[in-house]
Structure 1
Amino acid sequence: MRKLDNRGMAAFELVLVFVPLFTLMFAIFDLARYAITVQSLRTLSSASARAMMIQCYTPAVTGLTPSTSPSSCTGDYLSATQKQAAAPFLYRNGSSSPTVSTTSGASALTVTASQAGFAMVMPIWGTSLNAPTASTTIPF
């Protein structure tokens, strides 16, 4: 009976284990980076909404009426330094700055923060997670 040649089996087994292991590891890192970005956008939109409430509402908040009409409370009330202090992860390594926009509805103001230059590293996600956004709604 002839003995089989087993050279290279250890390398083949290593590849069989390492490829799924590293794929899973990088997928977890990618999803964690996405989760941190979304949480930072939530923090930024909340900070912008808070600044808007402080600027637009009168000190006597008994009736909860804005000091000006809701359509005029649609500006950006945070400076670039304040935005960077609220969500420093979004401003790392010279990446694109997040945008904050405000829309006025019939009974609420909505502050939306988005990160335009975000892209997932792993190609398995497609483009579905490449535009993270977060919103905060202020009823009035």
Structure 2
Amino acid sequence: MMRKLDQRGAAAMEFGLVIAPLFVLMFVIFDFGRYAITMQSLRNLASAAARQNMIQCYTPAVVAGTSPSTCTADYLTDTQKQDAAPFLYGAGLTPTMGTTAGATALTVTASLPAGSFSMIMPIWGSTLNTPSASTQIPF
């Protein structure tokens, strides 16, 4: 006569084996989603700042090929920045803006200060903790 195997606890054991990778996958997706939204918001902010820079600085002399090296100010108001990147300001982050003049282009950069954005999962290290996006304006 064959004895029936004891199956008590098998479902709990299977659940325990499946739930850990499921939670890790869920947090990885959440982390990359936050990072993607943050990067897209920074790109929008850099593009809006570059557009405002072109409106303020591009004179006939610039169009003729003269470098607009004096146009490195931040021409966006706080309200315009919040309109361009509502996710950043809604999450309590404060992006910084910078414009540098190169030989053939102005580069407008929007970035988050170090330590203001951090990933939930510690496995990424600090590589993704300082997101930054830039837009070049050729002249």
Q: Same fold (TM over 0.5)?
A: yes
- Contact between 1:110 and 1:136, CA under 8 Å: does it hold in 2? yes
Partner of 2:74: 76
Preserved contact between residue 67 and residue 104 of structure 2 (Cα < 8 Å): no
Find the counterpart in structure 2 of residue 87 from structure 1.
85
Q: Structure 2 matches for 1:1-140, cutoff 5 A?
A: 4-58=5-59, 64-65=63-64, 70-93=68-91, 95-116=92-113, 117-140=116-139
Tell me, what secondary structure is at the counterpart of 2:63? coil
Distance, in Å, in 2 between the alignment partners of 1:32 and 1:82 is 25
Instruction: List runs of 5+ in structure 2 lacking aligned partners.
Output: none
Deviates more, 1:28-37 or 1:6-15: 6-15
Letter paired with 1:91: Y
Instruction: Tell me the matched-pair count.
Output: 136
Q: How many angstroms apart in 2 are the aligned matches of 1:131 and 1:79?
A: 23
Question: Partners of 2:73 and 2:23 in 1: how far apart?
Answer: 45
Task: Report if aligned partners of 1:40, 1:87 keep a CA contact under 8 Å in 2.
Answer: yes
Deviation at 1:57, TM superposition (A): 1.1
What's the offset of the Cα at 1:2?
6.3
**Are the structure 2 counterparts of residues 120 and 83 from structure 1 closer, same or farther at C-alpha, using a change threshold of 3 Å?**
same
SS in 1 for 2:69: helix
Aligned residues with identical type, % of pairs: 65
Distance 1:71 1:103 in 2: 8
Identify which range, 129-138 or 7-16, moves more after superposition.
7-16
Task: Give the alignment's Cα RMSD to 1 decimal.
Answer: 2.0
Are the aligned partners of 1:100 and 1:114 in contact in 2 as well (CA < 8 Å)? yes
Q: What 5-or-longer segments of structure 1 have no aligned partner?
A: none
Looking at structure 1, the residues matched to 26 and 105 of structure 2 have their Cα atoms a distance apart, in angstroms, of: 42
Scaled by the length of structure 1, what TM-score is found? 0.88
Q: CA deviation at 1:106?
A: 1.1
Deviation at 1:12, TM superposition (A): 1.4
